[in-house]
Amino acid sequence: MTPIYSYYSREDGVLRKETLSEHIREALKAVKNMEKVLSYGLRLSRNFPLMLSLSVVLHDVGKVVYNQHFFNPNKDLSFRGHEVVSAWLIHKFTHTVDESVLKLPSEEWDVITFSVINHHHPMRIFNRCEDLTKEPFAQKEVNEDTIELFLREMEVNNVLEDKELRDIIANFKNEEFLRSVSGVKLNEIASKTCGGIYTGLWNRVWFEAKPKIRQLFLLNEQGLVVADYYSASINRGEARSDFGKAARDFIRLYSLSHHLALNGV
């Protein structure tokens, strides 16, 4: 089976690569070590650990499309705009499958989707949407294989150890969901996501939201970004960067502070 990559690039003549399963596995480990973040999140919602874990599992699902259409072992693989595709897929999933299998209320799924689309927020989301309306991206399509490849990458590599998490992701096999995303071009995804979907999320998660939802978003976004960069530092050598080091320090200190608090220090 051909792996799905979350990173594939040459730096100073050295190929650095990371599979999507490796990336998500390390990020989920990072989440488990954020005891203080999880503890605070539980004060806001009993679902917070599941919310953050789902955000981690789904934040790079859009990268599968780039593997499908652009992977060449002799070239670097760009994932520009992948967070737009990831957020669109989550939006379609939560608006297609039966609410009973989602396990979370709609406002918490909104937090997940909003966190995912913003997990590279300094990179100007609207510029990245515009890039998806141009070649070489515009006419490339999501299809049923996109979802099948993602699920296979998770299943074959035993990434999802938590049963509740595994059961939710299994519903990506839902036939109505698969039909709703199959054959949709990236330029259409960009238009819909950076148009009505993104505006709606801003309103529901921030402008019109209760303080608790805003707090959940800020905490979930923080956890996702740190888990993402921490995981990248493991396999890509990005611990050399200032942010990579900061992510590792964040997890170490938040884990340590929680243990000290438990022991009355």
Query: Which phi and psi angles does 139 have, rounded to 5°?
Result: -95, 0
Here the tokens at position 146 are: 């996109």
Give the Cα separation of 196 and 104 in Å (integer): 22
Q: Angle at which helices 125-132 and 82-94 pack, to 10 degrees? A: 90
Residue 10 to residues 15, 222, 230, Cα–Cα distance (Å): 4, 29, 20
pTM: 0.89
Is residue 33 within 8 Å of 26, Cβ to Cβ? no
What is the residue extent of each domain of the chain?
Answer: 24-262
Q: What is the pLDDT along the chain (265 residues), one digit of tens a residue?
A: 789 999 999 988 899 999 999 999 999 999 999 998 999 999 999 999 999 999 999 999 999 999 999 999 999 999 999 999 999 999 999 999 999 999 999 999 999 999 999 998 656 888 999 999 999 999 999 999 999 999 999 999 999 999 999 999 999 999 999 999 999 999 999 999 998 999 999 999 999 999 999 999 999 999 999 999 999 888 776 544 554 555 455 445 544 444 333 334 3
Residue 186 to residues 62, 96, 130, 149, 211, Cα–Cα distance (Å): 10, 19, 10, 18, 34
